[in-house]
Structure 1
Amino acid sequence: MNSGKRTGCATVFFIVLLVISLLLNFFFWNALQMRKGAGPEMKAPEFPEEYVAGDADRDQKIVLVRLQGLIAREEPGQFSESMVEDIELQLRQAREDRKVKAVLLAINSPGGEVDASDVLYHAIERTRRVKPIVVYMESVAASGGYYAAMGASYLLANDLSLTGSIGVVLQTFNVKDLLDKIGVKALTLKSGKLKDLLNPTREMTPEEQAYVQGLINESYDRFVGIVARERHLDLNELKTHWADGRILSGSMALQAKLVDQLGYFEDAVEKCKELGKVKTSRVVRYVPPFRLAALVRGLFGAETRAKGALLSPGRLPLISGRLYYLAPTLFGSGGFLP
Structure 2
Amino acid sequence: MFRILFSLVFLPIRILFQGFRILSWIIRKGDHFYLEIPSSFSFDRKSFLVKLLVPKEEAPFLVDFLIGLKALTKVPGLKKVSFHISNPEYGFGEVWNICETIQTLNEKGIETSGFCLGGGTKALLLLSQCKHRYTSSAAEFFPILPSAEPYFFGGAAKKFGVGVEAYASGAFKSFGETFQRTSFSAPARKNLEALLTDYKELLSTGFKKSSNLDLKVLEEPIISSEKLKKIGFITEFVEEDEFEENYLFENYKKEKETDKPKYKKLSPKGFRLYHKKSNFTLISKSVPIVAVLPVQGNILPDLGREEDFRSRQVSFRYYQEIFKDLKEDPKVAAVILEMNSPGGSALVSELLYREIKKLAEKKPVITYVLNVAASGGYYLSCATQKIHGTPYSIVGSIGAVMMRFELKKLYDKFGVQKERIGFYPHRDILSEYGKLSPKSEQFLRKEVLRSRDLFYSRVIESRKTSFQELEKHYGEGRIFSGQTFRKSGFLDSCDSFLDILQNLKTELKSKKIDVRYLPGTYSWKDLVQDLKPGIQLSKFSFFSKLNAEKKQNPMEVLHLSEIAQELSGL
- TM-score (norm. length: structure 2): 0.41
- Contact 2:428–2:440 (CA<8 Å) still a contact in 1? no
Query: Which residue of 529, 537, 547 maps to 1:302?
Result: 529
CA distance in 1, matches of 2:299, 2:364: 23
Encode CA deviations 1:287-330: one digit per residue, 9 max, x unaligned. 657x9xx23543xx4318xxxxxxxxxxxxxxxxxxxxxxxxxx
CA distance in 2, matches of 1:158, 1:187: 54
Encode CA deviations 1:254-301: one digit per residue, 9 max, x unaligned. 122111111121122123223333332120123657x9xx23543xx4
CA distance in 1, matches of 2:485, 2:438: 37
Give the counterpart letter for 1:138 in structure 2.
L
- Contact 1:104–1:268 (CA<8 Å) still a contact in 2? no
Distance 1:154 1:271, change over 3 A: farther
Q: Which runs of 5+ in 2 are unaligned?
A: 1-47, 50-62, 72-274, 280-285, 532-570
Query: Which residue of 277, 287, 298 maps to 1:70?
Result: 298
Encode CA deviations 1:52-88: one digit per residue, 9 max, x unaligned. 4589865211111110001115498655897323322
Corresponding residue for residue 535 of structure 2: none
Corresponding residue for residue 175 of structure 1: 407
Counterparts of 1:108-257 in structure 2, within 5 Å, are 108-257=340-489
CA distance in 1, matches of 2:475, 2:525: 43
Give the counterpart letter for 1:72 in structure 2.
L
Give the counterpart letter for 1:302 in structure 2.
Q
- Contact 1:198–1:204 (CA<8 Å) still a contact in 2? no
Q: Do structure 1's residue 61 and structure 2's residue 293 form an aligned pair?
A: no
CA distance in 2, matches of 1:103, 1:263: 17
Secondary structure in 1 aligned to 2:405? coil
Give the counterpart letter for 1:295 in structure 2.
W
CA distance in 2, matches of 1:287, 1:109: 15
Encode CA deviations 1:222-275: one digit per residue, 9 max, x unaligned. 001110111100111101111110111101111221111111211221232233
- Contact 2:456–2:467 (CA<8 Å) still a contact in 1? yes
Corresponding residue for residue 339 of structure 2: 107
Corresponding residue for residue 276 of structure 1: 508
Once the 2 structures are TM-superposed, how far is the Cα of residue 172 of structure 1 from its aligned partner? Answer: 1.1
CA RMSD of aligned residues (A): 2.8
CA distance in 1, matches of 2:376, 2:428: 28
- Contact 1:135–1:268 (CA<8 Å) still a contact in 2? no
Q: Which runs of 5+ in 1 are unaligned?
A: 1-21, 24-50, 305-338
CA distance in 1, matches of 2:425, 2:327: 48
Secondary structure in 2 aligned to 1:281? strand
Counterparts of 1:7-26 in structure 2, within 5 Å, are none
CA distance in 2, matches of 1:73, 1:283: 31
Higher normalized contact order (CA 8 Å, seq sep 6+, divided by chain length) = 1
Secondary structure in 2 aligned to 1:108? strand
- TM-score (norm. length: structure 1): 0.67
Q: Would you say how many aligned residue pairs link Structure 1 and Structure 2?
A: 251
CA distance in 2, matches of 1:286, 1:241: 36
CA distance in 2, matches of 1:130, 1:116: 22
CA distance in 1, matches of 2:328, 2:461: 27
Once the 2 structures are TM-superposed, how far is the Cα of residue 207 of structure 1 from its aligned partner? Answer: 1.6
Query: Which residue of 304, 323, 326 maps to 1:94?
Result: 326
Secondary structure in 1 aligned to 2:294? strand
Secondary structure in 2 aligned to 1:261? coil
Between 1:145-154 and 1:199-208, the stretch displaced more is: 199-208
Give the counterpart letter for 2:368 in structure 1.
Y
Distance 1:287 1:227, change over 3 A: closer
Secondary structure in 1 aligned to 2:321? helix
Distance 1:83 1:207, change over 3 A: closer
Give the counterpart letter for 1:261 in structure 2.
S
Distance 1:239 1:171, change over 3 A: same
Distance 1:184 1:97, change over 3 A: closer
Once the 2 structures are TM-superposed, how far is the Cα of residue 93 of structure 1 from its aligned partner? Answer: 2.4
Secondary structure in 1 aligned to 2:293? strand
- Contact 2:394–2:480 (CA<8 Å) still a contact in 1? yes
Q: Do structure 1's residue 83 and structure 2's residue 311 form an aligned pair?
A: no
Once the 2 structures are TM-superposed, how far is the Cα of residue 167 of structure 1 from its aligned partner? Answer: 1.0
